[in-house]
Copies of this chain bind each other. A is one copy, B any other.
């Protein structure tokens, strides 16, 4: 026992089994799975009958089915979907290609997508396309190897060549928040332009005049659109915007941005952070390092409506990601029958009013 023990019985009882030897003596091959053949034999029917018993809508007599089910239960039989996929030419597998899974927005998207896809009878394979773990290209190759029916790219850009392979082999390919519009793919995105315009307008109406924009050094289409439209809208009103750009799309960058911004000669009185994570960093810099009050000394708007945006320490005004809608539409494209109409979509990102922007100064 590596742990010092705790006097309370219950306390020690909860832990400390670590050293126990539950010997995992397993034959290298392992007990075989039961096959349809064996079930057939046991049930006294043909192999085909077993297949029919597990195929919804197949024509089979009620008592034949009953016999099969009984035998299957006794043997612990489970249809082998790999073999089934081989015959049916569709595997039921949907691949989700994603980097930065641990990020609030993406993990929420992943949760919604996997849940809805499962409910629709699909099974999801997650391909982590993070820096270290290979790239989107490698991920798409796996998608091909496992004959996924469809693949959804949540972040990152697939190389054209390999994406084309997916398409060529009959896969459905849905791309989120990209703007390359590769022919044959379904492109889903969010109305970043409108949101950014709204953000600028909100600041201006409230009376803020020294605007700043904080974005990361990662130029994804979404981030770029938010940035550019915010600048354009402010520009139309004759207001210049101080742009801070750099680092990863993360809290730390926001903290840096805020620190730089508020220690500059002309500190801003309002900042649009292209992401909530950045916004939280900016707010923390403003408050904890410069004693600025939000929203009186400085207004802040973010994007994504991550859980933390609603926490009392931030209470951030932001734009919600229409995650549920994106998931629904993806399921429709991926699991629905033949979607022949143009399936591209742009979803609205609704403004979520909280207290980080003054109604008017």
Contacts and interface: CB of A to CB of B under 8 A. Distances in A.
A179 interface: yes
A345 to B, nearest CB: 6
Interface string A147-189: 1000000000000000001001111100000010101111101
Contacts of A183: 22
A20 B344 contact: yes
A49 interface: no
B79 A145 contact: yes
Given A15-B225, A20-B181, A24-B343, A8 B111 contact: no
Contacts of A10: 228, 232
A280 B12 CA distance: 28
A128 to B, nearest CB: 4
A342 to B, nearest CB: 4
Interface residues of A, number: 123
Contact of A115 (B20, B30, B130, B285): B130
A14 B192 contact: yes
Interface stretch (A58-66, A241-249, A261-269, A308-316): A308-316
Given A101-B111, A170-B30, A14 B229 contact: yes
| Copies assembled | 2
B110 A346 contact: no
Contacts of A115: 128, 130, 132-133
A169 B7 CA distance: 41
Contact of A102 (B78, B111, B123, B134): B111
B118 A228 contact: no
A3 B346 contact: yes
A118 B340 CA distance: 35
A338 to B, nearest CB: 6
Given A15-B191, A191-B3, A194-B4, A101 B110 contact: yes
Interface stretch (A37-45, A82-90, A203-211, A295-303): A82-90
Interface string A270-295: 00000000001001110111000000
A128 B118 contact: yes
8 contacts: A3-B191, A4-B197, A31-B168, A33-B147, A81-B146, A101-B107, A101-B111, A126-B126
